[in-house]
Amino acid sequence: MKKLLYFLGSLLATVAAAFFVSHWLQGFDNPGYVLIGIGHWSLETSLVVFAVSLIIGFFVFYLFFRLLGWLFRLPGQLKSRGKNIKFNRSQEALIAGLVDSAEGNWERAENVLIKHASHSGAPLIHYLTAAKAAQSRGAFDKRDEYLKKAADQAPDSGVVIGLTQAELNLSGNQFEQALETLTRLHSIDPTHATVLKLLHQTYQHVGDWQGIRKLIPSLHTNKILMEAEIKLLETEAFSQLLKQSAEIGNTEEIQSLWSEIPDYIKTMPGISAIYFASMIEAGAGAEIEQNLADVLSVNWDETLVALFGSIQSNNVAKQLETAEKWAYVHQENAVLLAVLGKLAVKCGDTFKAESYLAKSIAAEPTVQAYQLLGDLLFAQGDKDNASTCYKNGLELASSEIVSRIDTLS
């Protein structure tokens, strides 16, 4: 509009100037003329008419060439305008898709995002959001299709696409697929915080404690977890690895793991019990008998006492003798008395075994002590008292189960 006003203003100013010049020339006897000759043709006109014609001709040619230029630019302008319209629609579609996704309208969000993704300035966001929407409605094939399209559209965004894929795999309990993706991303960027965090979570889900153990230094160096969390994770990793080694009966691996565990973890409550229990379960209890006795002499622990009593010793009499030394200090300890009774049974000393088991029950009744005493009395032919022990043991076990149910409810 401004250009049109400028043009008309210029034209009017020129015409007005020509009019005043013509009026000024009229005051002369000869206002001037112009003669143009072309071959046998000639054109003669006054100076004013020629000047006005020249000015009008200039404006006509100016308009002609402006129109011609506009016609040449018209297809490009139409194309650009169409792109702008599509771009604006894609932006509106992105906002609508994000809103629908947040509101749980997964299918509608997916459709509107994919429809306008190709015209968007950020197609990656369209495809990744659509993939999440497809995941939420259980369309895993569509999810993978959108992730592939995202990779095609933004080949340089492999990490963010991979992280989205891994997160979706984890939320869909597809742990093996998530682990495969995260392992690839970890090889690309070993220090990426989100990759390390998701990889740690995935290892926990699949029970790959060896993988977690190898990952712990990176988690610590890159400050993915707090110091306390790192120690707890390291403790859990070694504990689980010890249990796994015990299940396959690999005593060499158990001892190797124990030698690699840092001292601050070894001193934590329950860790040494896992090691000794693993060795006993693997059938190597006799190898750690003296070690376990030494630990108990320094740090009293009822769990370790029970483990000591479960060792299949090569010298049960010596084992009983060692445990009896602790009784001088822990005379009323029900667990120790039950272990002494169990070991006395193995030694064939029924009188001592009965005495220890009776003292254990008097100190604190346990199902194991009742069962051991019942078995001992039954073997001696005292079926009535044996039945009483079994009955008391069953009642105690039942009350413990009821107490656990009440606690859970």
Bigger pLDDT: 390 vs 155: 390
Taking the C-alpha atoms of residue 260 and residue 160, their distance in angstroms, rounded to an integer, is 37
The DSSP string of 191-211 is: T-HHHHHHHHHHHHHHT-HHH
Q: Is the pLDDT of residue 318 over 90?
A: yes
Taking the C-alpha atoms of residue 321 and residue 316, their distance in angstroms, rounded to an integer, is 8
Bigger pLDDT: 103 vs 87: 103
The long-range contacts involving 340-349, CB below 8 angstroms and separated by at least 24 positions, are: 341/369, 341/372, 341/373, 341/376, 342/309, 342/372, 343/309, 343/316, 343/319, 344/320, 345/372, 345/375, 345/376, 346/316, 346/320, 347/316, 347/317, 347/320
Q: Is the pLDDT of residue 82 over 90?
A: no
Model confidence pLDDT, tens digit, residues 170-218: 888 888 999 999 999 998 889 999 999 999 999 999 889 999 999 998 9
Taking the C-alpha atoms of residue 305 and residue 310, their distance in angstroms, rounded to an integer, is 9
Q: What is the arithmetic mean of pLDDT over 50-76?
A: 71
Instruction: Say what the pLDDT of residue 330 is.
Output: 87
Bigger pLDDT: 77 vs 401: 401
- Among 86, 158, 163, residue whose Cα is nearest residue 132: 163
Percentage, residues of the chain above pLDDT 70 = 75
Element (H or E) spanning 34, and its range? strand 33-38
Q: Is the pLDDT of residue 96 over 70?
A: no
37 three-state secondary structure: strand
Could you tell me how far CA 240 lies from the centroid of its own chain? 22
Q: What is the DSSP letter of 173?
A: T
Q: Is the pLDDT of residue 83 over 60?
A: no
pLDDT band at 311 (very low <50, low <70, confident <90, very high): very high
Domain annotation for the chain: domains and CATH numbers: 334-409 (1.25.40.10)
Q: Is the pLDDT of residue 78 over 60?
A: no
Q: What is the DSSP letter of 35?
A: E
- Among 159, 183, 182, 187, residue whose Cα is nearest residue 170: 182
Lowest-confidence pick of 53-67, 146-160, 261-275, 320-334 = 53-67
* Amino acid, res. 322: T
The DSSP string of 41-57 is: EEEEEEHHHHHHHHHHH
